[in-house]
């Protein structure tokens, strides 16, 4: 366990979630337009910027907002916007997502109850470096979900957090590197990956997530992170960065086939941003791997977190992964345990490198299976105080860098051998016996049968509830008719 893991964040997380819960109340709607998650992180950012300035408590921006209300019976948006504009004056005002949000928030429409939230914000102490880190790490835990749209109100899934830690450690980031994430979400992966002096670039389709990413990274100590709003498949931010290449690229895009289609890839003038630009519309999820490889420096490293299904699909996706393997761009593939995130999606981590344009069949790939009992036991975190099984991500990173081979856990597999399995890159088929694979299939079939039973029960219950409501309202209508007649 790391020092951070040993801290009890329950109370701090509870305070942050309570503030967000209050802001999500309809009485605040006219002020923040339903964007309570962004608003609470924005308020913490205002306090962070004010504390960083080392001003006296009475000159803190939150204190000034409270003073403004006491004098005028109205909160001042101009006061907050002027402050944030001054603090981010070295940023591009047209592109900075936080400045855009600061213009949209309407403090003057906040109800009097907003005083309670501001007083809670005042309790946060960002002058203390340790306390600042606790807040940042708490926000990372709150926003730990990569795939399932988790909100402040949901339970925090520790497996999601473990996946972030795993990916960040496997990236092997050093100080002063340039890091890029083209689907950065709220910036969790980038925040956990960044070291001293690293320059961060991120792109996110959802503007609310982009705002949170900028704030989270800034509070984590990243100087002037560059976060842009947009879809990498339609308008990659790299297209206006003049051919910039990166030391490290990490991404966990929201991958499913309906989002990777010819309709999204309409701007063919961006094909130069993807390796093998000739097959943009039919690559499936491998399009993201091709973007990573194209934008890596010669000695760079990339990590793609993706559904495990992309390792075995036929058609053009098979052609793409074969071409990537033949140029030596796939260094390792890690099959993750089922349930590693709060979703039914089974995941893998693909470690990528630049590779060579000269194709040859002599490259090998390290395959690691963490989804087997043997793999889980080998990398399970010792002395874990939590009530869940965590992966020892530091041990895994060292294991991968040494390219170790252990029976039933990892193997270096040649492309020749993979060719005999129709270029199926799934680690389990090279590391488990037939009987183990059959048992695994039997367990999956059992789970699907149980799920089917639950769904049938759910639909039956829903039907009964609808009938009960219908009968109730039908009876209520009859009673109203009786009253009218009387």
Average pLDDT of the chain is 82
Q: Which phi and psi angles does 423 have, rounded to 5°?
A: 55, 45
- CB–CB of 15/138 below 8 Å? no
| Structure confidence at residue 430 (pLDDT) | 92
Residue 447 has pLDDT above 90, yes or no: no
| 412 alpha carbon, distance to own chain's centre | 30
Q: In the predicted model, is pLDDT for residue 1 greater than 50?
A: no
Average pLDDT of span 117-127: 92
Residue 90 banded pLDDT, cuts 50, 70, 90 = low
Nearest to residue 251, comparing CAs of 347, 167, 369, 313?
167
Return the pLDDT at 59: 79
**Which of helix, strand or coil describes residue 433?**
coil
Output the six-digit token pair for 246. Answer: 């990166």
Environment class of 168 (CB within 10 Å of its CB; exposed 0-12, middle 13-18, buried 19+): buried
Are 20 and 36 a contacting pair, CB within 8 Å? yes
11, 135 Cβ separation under 8 angstroms: no
Residue-level pLDDT at 457: 64
Q: Are 431 and 367 in contact (CB under 8 A)?
A: yes
Query: Please, what sign has the CA dihedral across residues 352, 355, 359, 362?
Result: negative
pLDDT tens, residue by residue, 159-212: 788 889 889 999 999 999 999 999 999 999 999 999 889 999 999 999 999 999
The predicted model gives 452-465 an average pLDDT of 65
* Phi, psi angle pair for 370, to nearest 5°: -95, -5
pTM of the predicted model, to two decimals? 0.83
Between these two residues, 8 and 479, which has the higher pLDDT value?
Answer: 8
| Residue in the structure block whose two tokens are 């395959």 | 367
pLDDT exceeds cutoff 80 at 446: no
pLDDT value of position 371: 86
What CA–CA distances, in Å, run from 417 to 320, 321, 322, 407?
A: 18, 15, 13, 17
What residues are paired with 305 via a beta bridge? Answer: 349
pLDDT band for position 6 (50/70/90)?
A: very low
pLDDT at 404 over 60: yes
Three-state DSSP class for 51?
A: helix
Tens-place pLDDT, residues 304-346: 999 888 898 766 678 888 989 999 999 999 998 877 776 667 8
Q: Nearest Cα to 135, choosing from 209, 250, 40, 35?
A: 40
pLDDT value at residue 77: 87
Tokens of 368: 């690691």
**Quick check: 154 and 29 in contact, CB under 8 A?**
no
The pLDDT score that the predictor gives to residue 388 is 42
What's the number of CA atoms in the CB half-sphere (13 Å) around residue 433? 6
Q: Across residues 257-284, what is the average pLDDT?
A: 69
Q: Is 436 exposed, middle or buried (0-12, 13-18, 19+ CB in 10 A)?
A: middle
pLDDT attached to residue 425: 93
**Which residues make beta-bridge pairs with 391?**
380
Tens of pLDDT, residue by residue over 364-397, are 999 999 888 888 888 886 654 443 457 888 899 9
State how beta strands 364-369 and 410-414 pair: antiparallel
- Residue 463: is its pLDDT beyond 90? no
Token pair of 378 as six digits: 């080998």
**Mean pLDDT over residues 348-365, rounded?**
86
Most confident residue range from 357-366, 393-402, 450-459: 393-402
The predicted structure's pLDDT at residue 386 = 45
User: What is the pLDDT confidence band of residue 153, given thresholds at 50, 70 and 90?
Assistant: confident
421: tokens are 């399995």
The yes-or-no verdict on residue 5 having pLDDT over 50 is no
Using the Cα atoms of residue 474, residue 475, residue 481 and residue 483 in order, give the sign of their dihedral.
Answer: negative
CA distances from 246 to 153, 259, 261, 456 (A): 36, 25, 26, 50
**In this structure, what token pair is assigned to residue 291?**
């973007």
The residues facing 350 across adjacent strands are 304, 333
The span from the CA of 305 to the CA of 320, in Å, is: 17
Report the run of H or E that residue 160 belongs to, with start and end: helix 158-170
How many angstroms separate the CA atoms of 192 and 177, rounded? 14
CA distance 27 to 114: 10
């Amino acid at each position: 366990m790391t020092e951070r893991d040993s801290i009890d964040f329950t109370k701090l997380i509870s305070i942050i979630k309570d503030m967000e819960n209050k802001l999500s109340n309809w009485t605040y709607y006219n002020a923040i337009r339903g964007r309570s998650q962004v608003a609470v992180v924005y308020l913490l950012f205002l306090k962070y910027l004010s504390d960083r300035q080392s001003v006296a408590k009475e000159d803190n921006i939150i204190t000034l907002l409270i003073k403004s209300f006491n004098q005028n019976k109205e909160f001042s948006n101009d006061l907050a916007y002027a402050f944030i504009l001054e603090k981010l004056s070295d940023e591009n005002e047209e592109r900075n997502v936080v400045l855009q949000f600061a213009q949209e928030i309407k403090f003057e429409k906040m109800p009097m109850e907003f005083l309670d939230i501001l007083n809670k914000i005042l309790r946060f102490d960002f002058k203390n470096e340790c306390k600042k880190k606790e807040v940042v790490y708490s926000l990372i835990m709150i926003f730990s979900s990569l795939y399932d749209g988790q909100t402040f109100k949901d339970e925090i899934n520790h497996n999601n957090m473990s996946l972030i830690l795993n990916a960040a450690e496997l990236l092997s980031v050093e100080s002063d590197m340039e890091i890029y994430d083209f689907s950065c979400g709220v910036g969790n992966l980038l925040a956990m990956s960044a070291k001293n002096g690293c320059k961060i670039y991120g792109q996110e389709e959802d503007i609310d997530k982009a705002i949170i990413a900028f704030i989270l990274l800034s509070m984590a100590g990243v100087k002037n992170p560059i976060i842009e709003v947009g879809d990498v498949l339609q308008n990659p931010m790299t297209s206006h960065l003049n051919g910039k290449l990166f030391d490290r690229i990490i991404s966990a895009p929201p991958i499913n086939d309906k989002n990777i289609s010819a309709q999204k890839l309409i701007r063919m003038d961006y094909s130069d941003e993807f390796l093998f630009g000739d097959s943009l519309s039919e690559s499936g999820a491998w399009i993201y791997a091709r973007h990573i490889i194209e934008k890596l420096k010669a000695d760079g490293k990339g990590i793609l977190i993706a559904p495990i299904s992309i390792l075995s699909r036929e058609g053009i996706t098979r052609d793409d992964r074969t071409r990537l393997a033949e140029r030596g761009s796939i260094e390792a593939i890690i099959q993750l345990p089922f349930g590693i995130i709060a979703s039914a999606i089974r995941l893998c981590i693909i470690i990528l490198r630049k590779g060579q344009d000269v194709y040859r069949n002599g490259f090998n790939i390290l395959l690691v299976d963490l989804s087997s009992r043997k793999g889980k036991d080998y990398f399970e975190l010792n002395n874990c105080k939590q009530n869940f099984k965590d992966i020892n991500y530091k041990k895994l990173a060292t294991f991968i860098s040494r390219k170790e081979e252990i029976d039933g856990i990892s193997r270096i597999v040649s492309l020749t051998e993979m060719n005999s399995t129709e270029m199926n890159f799934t680690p389990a088929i090279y590391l488990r016996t037939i009987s183990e694979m059959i048992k695994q299939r039997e367990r999956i079939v059992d789970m699907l049968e149980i799920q089917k039973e639950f769904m049938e029960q759910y639909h039956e219950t829903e039907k009964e509830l609808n009938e009960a409501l219908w009968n109730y309202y039908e009876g209520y209508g009859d009673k109203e008719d009786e009253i009218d007649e009387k």
